[in-house]
Every structure is written in structure tokens, then in C-alpha cells.
Amino acid sequence: MAHPENFDLAHLGAIELFTPKFDESLHFFRDLLAMREVARVGDSVYLRTWDEYQLYSLKLTASDTNGVGRTLYRASSPEALARRVSAIEKAGLGHGWRDPEVGVGPSYEFEDPDGHLMGIYYETEHYVPDDEDRPALKNQAAKFPGRGINVRRLDHINYLTSDVNACGEFWRDVMMSRESERVKLDAGGYGAWWFRFHQKSYDVVYSDDWTGERGRFHHFAFAPDNREDILKAADICLENGIYIEYGPYKHAINQTFFLYVWEPGGNRIEFATAQARLILDPDWPVVEWSQAERAKGQAWGMKTVATFHTHGTPIVENQEEIDRQALAGH
């Protein structure tokens, strides 16, 4: 049975992404994806998807490497925030409160068992569109850009981890998120684990990092409106020299239609339809896949691309060679 604390998290709030190719990455997110710049502070630019009700969705930061910075999660209420902070503190993974910053009020910073930096907050700044960005309908955050990949909202994040089991147990027992699906390894434990906050089938995912590194990033996903948008995204990436790693295709696990690309800074970005299949049963039992079932590939039978298990950010030494050998089948 679902517990009231299973609903303490509202949604993935915002993500900080590092890029060693800031101008090219900014072009990708702002011009090809039709995100809007709302603030610049230091080496960071804050960008929003068009139907983001908050001020921003992505903090893009110039860096000498790539990978993910702090992931922000919005709590469902001040009481929910207090409950989760207390649980995180008891787990010994809390860093403490941080002052309000661009778009969000006070946040409590912590890390997961694999060292990924995170924050949880409740107070947020609602986006107020200017004349240029005002939508025709008042139930929409901003004007529909109608250009490029036209990303509507942030959907989910997938972290690489040296310890899927510890991270999964943290999200199940401390963050109190519900499991939706997982991959059971023949040797015991899990190779990947999916968690949901509400009816969308997943919000947070952990995947085994075959390099054994801690704290790396696999991808985050934007949700366009439909499958056709994802086919169009593939054409736009093709025309603009963006590396298409995998798809468009349909996942077996959780059944989203997807496309994976590497933005110019080397970080993997996904476009995925998470809204087609919802889990309405509050007590829906976790769906477990065996290693053999996972090895069958995706929904219609295509095998998972080899770099899906090797490429992560920040890149490791010899990352290009590791990816090249994986694609060559070595």
C-alpha cells in the first residue's frame, strides 16, 4: 500500500549541467530546442522550456569538464520538505540549508550514496511572461515557440552509479519514492532501478556504471508532446550535426518512445514521451526484468546501443576509445 510520504516529492525541479563547450551547448538548448534564457549569473545561464511553470528548467554552466551539477527536486509542501530533510539528515547524507537563489527559495542540499549533488526545496518563483512571451491561453506557462525541437517540459533524470542497490534503497527508503521497474542481475542486486513520484512512470533512474566511477551522469530527458515530435527532433539533430546515439525507438522498460543524442558538450540528452503510459494504481507492484530479458533489447527487438553502457559524463580517461571499441563490438 502506498504511504502518504510517497507523495512528498512533486517533481524534478531543475538540473545544472556542465559543459566544456559553452557556446555550442547554449546554441543547442536555446536555438535548436527553443528554450528561453531567463538569467545569467557568473559562468551560468538559466534556460526554460516553454511550458515550465517555474522560472527555469536548466542551469547550463561553463566548465572544464562535462557532467551534472546539482539536481533540484521540488517538495509537495513545506511539511513534505521538512519530512524529507529530516530523513536525509538521519541517513547522514545532508549538507545543510542553502540560501534562496535564482528561481527557488531556501533549499536543503544533500548527496545520494554515490555522491551526486542534490537539493530539495518548496518555495519557487512562478514564471511571469512578458508581452513577447505571453501565451494566448491563460492555462499555459508561456507562448508556444513552434520552432526547433520545441521542448515542453523537463521529464526525468538518469544517473550512472557505482552502486545501484545503495542508490535505489536511498530513493525507496529515505526519499520515499515508489519503484516502478528494475533490472535484477543474475549475480544478485540490481543493474538499473526506476522510481516514480506520482502517475508518470518514472522521475529518477539509476543505471550501473560499467567503468565503476562514482557520481557520473547518464542523461536527462525533455518531454515533447508526441512521437512525431521525436522523429522531427532526429531530423533537426541530423541537419545540425548533433550526434544521434540511439533511436528513435520504443523502450521495453516503461515503454517510452525515445531519442538519445549527445549535446555538443558531450552530455547525453533524451527526448521521450512519458505521458503516453501512466501508472494510475497507487499500489502498482514493481515490474522486475531479468538480465536475459533486458539483453533482448528494446520493445520491437532492436538491441541497446553499446555506448549506452559505456558513455557517461564527466567523461573518463580514454572515453572516446572506450566508446569506439564498444561500438565496434569489442
Sites of contact with Fe ion (CB under 5 A): 158, 221, 270
Of 36 and 153, the one with the shorter C-beta distance to Fe ion is 153
Query: What's the rounded Cα separation, in Å, for the pair 281 and 265?
Result: 39
CB of 75 closer than 8 Å to CB of 81: yes
Cβ at position 89, least distance to Fe ion in Å? 30
Cβ at position 251, least distance to Fe ion in Å? 8
Cβ at position 205, least distance to Fe ion in Å? 6
Beta strand 257-262 pairing with 243-250: antiparallel
Strands of 99-141, DSSP E? 107-111, 117-121
Cβ at position 82, least distance to Fe ion in Å? 30
Cβ at position 223, least distance to Fe ion in Å? 10
Of 44 and 177, the one with the shorter C-beta distance to Fe ion is 177
Of 13 and 247, the one with the shorter C-beta distance to Fe ion is 247
Nearest CA-CA partner of 98 in 82, 117, 79, 121: 121
Of 181 and 270, the one with the shorter C-beta distance to Fe ion is 270
Of 103 and 191, the one with the shorter C-beta distance to Fe ion is 191
Query: What's the rounded Cα separation, in Å, for the pair 129 and 175?
Result: 33
CB of 328 closer than 8 Å to CB of 309: no
Cβ at position 220, least distance to Fe ion in Å? 8
Sequence length of the chain is 330
Nearest CA-CA partner of 22 in 42, 52, 48: 42
Of 121 and 206, the one with the shorter C-beta distance to Fe ion is 206
Beta strand 204-208 pairing with 190-196: antiparallel
Query: What's the rounded Cα separation, in Å, for the pair 105 and 303?
Result: 44
Place of cell 513520484: 197
